[in-house]
Amino acid sequence: MEITVVHGDITRQQVDAVVNAANRGMRGGGGVDGAIHAAGGPAVLADCVARFPHGLATGDAGWTTAGDLPARWVIHVVGPDHRSGQTDRSLLTSCYARALAVADELGAGSVAFPLVSAGIYGWPKHDAVAAAIETLAAAETAVAEARMVAFDRGTYQLIAQSLSTT
């Protein structure tokens, strides 16, 4: 699998699936979650309610329609909230591994990932990048491209630098 990085908006990526950094309730929120729900429209939320009436556990993943997004699917992952004491790194790496497993179930060849838990959940950015790249690089998957999407220039540079040394 090729791991790439782009500086841009995850809601505009032309991929089979976009990964949403969701909260456990699966009803929309801020950051990436809010952007995906806003761009995807009401169909994303309706599918979340139907498929995940009780939400998802931290570290797990599940899919919904992508609604109005250019992707076919949204793969929702629930990252650990570092600020509230969820510091088990295996929960973070599980988000990437489970997202790829769901992508394989769907037959997705390209998947766009945000940097899970590194925003409002406060996971230290350098370790969030390392966890993502380590997990993606070690994965056995049929996904051809895992695209890391960085909304800001600093995160893009950090991911690009990390990819160049792996």
Residues near 41 by beta carbon (within 8 Å), at least 6 away in sequence? 67, 68
Q: What is the pLDDT of residues 68-117, one digit of tens each?
A: 999 999 999 999 999 999 999 999 999 999 999 999 999 999 999 999 99
For 52-61, the pLDDT digits (tens) are 999 999 999 9
Q: Which CATH architecture has domain 2-164?
A: 3-Layer(aba) Sandwich (3.40)
- At residue 12, the pLDDT reads 98
Contacts for 38 with CB less than 8 Å, ≥ 6 apart: 11
DSSP 82-118: GGGT---HHHHHHHHHHHHHHHHHHT-SEEEE--TTS
Q: Which residues are catalytic?
A: 33
